[in-house]
A and B are shown apart, each in its own frame.
Chain A
Amino acid sequence: GAVVSQHPSWVICKSGTSVKIECRSLDFQATTMFWYRQFPKQSLMLMATSNEGSKATYEQGVEKDKFLINHASLTLSTLTVTSAHPEDSSFYICSAGDYNRNKNIQYFGAGTRLSVL
């Protein structure tokens, strides 16, 4: 149980295009999902907290207009990297909490590796 699916796992795009990443909770409802960014051999940095039916809460220094987050249902959150540039190349990971089990534990997707040419 508590499976989170993230898609795509790998995407290559040209500079200036937009890329959408999906995060789905497969066997539970997730009122809150989280989006992280990870650089090679570094830790995870929280980008934003995604709440179903409301606007996402972004961490300091994260551009809202650059990283659009939509959490339209209890099982799906999306992150759109708009007008991507090479410096946006990174590993993006989503997570969700199953509050029927333990709200403190996050279940992670497998991540999306974004390469912007």
Chain B
Amino acid sequence: SQQGEEDPQALSIQEGENATMNCSYKTSINNLQWYRQNSGRGLVHLILIRSNEREKHSGRLRVTLDTSKKSSSLLITASRAADTASYFCATGLDEKLTFGTGTRLTIIP
């Protein structure tokens, strides 16, 4: 399987704290993306980082990419209750996405 691995599988933090989740992948990529999925719903695109980029920011999100280690991290700062969801990394190649195993994030009010 070419599916990536995410770490941790589950994470619970207090509201206001920062949340960090990691993703490792196995194959060559054009880009790496992070998506959020609320329970029983579709996915929402959060951020895309290209293979020649090392770091990218979008609002409270910060993504890093290390292609030599085939890994990425997503940092959510100042977490809110509404951030409770599952987060998936997805590696992109030739318009197809391969999703990681996901991190279930719970924000405790």
Contact = CB atoms under 8 A, between A and B. Distances in A.
A115 B41 CA distance: 16
B45 to A, nearest CB: 5
A108 B97 contact: no
B100 A43 contact: yes
Shortest beta-carbon contacts, A-B, top 10: A108-B42, A108-B43, A110-B42, A44-B99, A43-B99, A43-B101, A111-B42, A104-B92, A105-B45, A109-B42
Contacts of A97: 95
A13 to B, nearest CB: 19
Given A42-B101, A43-B88, A106-B97, 19 more contacts: A32-B95, A34-B96, A41-B104, A42-B102, A44-B43, A44-B99, A46-B96, A49-B96, A91-B40, A93-B42, A95-B43, A103-B95, A104-B33, A104-B48, A106-B43, A107-B45, A110-B42, A111-B41, A113-B40
Contacts of A102: 48
B55 to A, nearest CB: 18
Interface residues of B, number: 23
Nearest to B101: A43
A6 interface: yes
A85 B65 CA distance: 42
B31 interface: yes
B40 A43 contact: no
Interface in B35-88: 35, 40-45, 48, 88
A106 B95 CA distance: 9
Given A34-B96, A43-B101, A108 B44 contact: yes
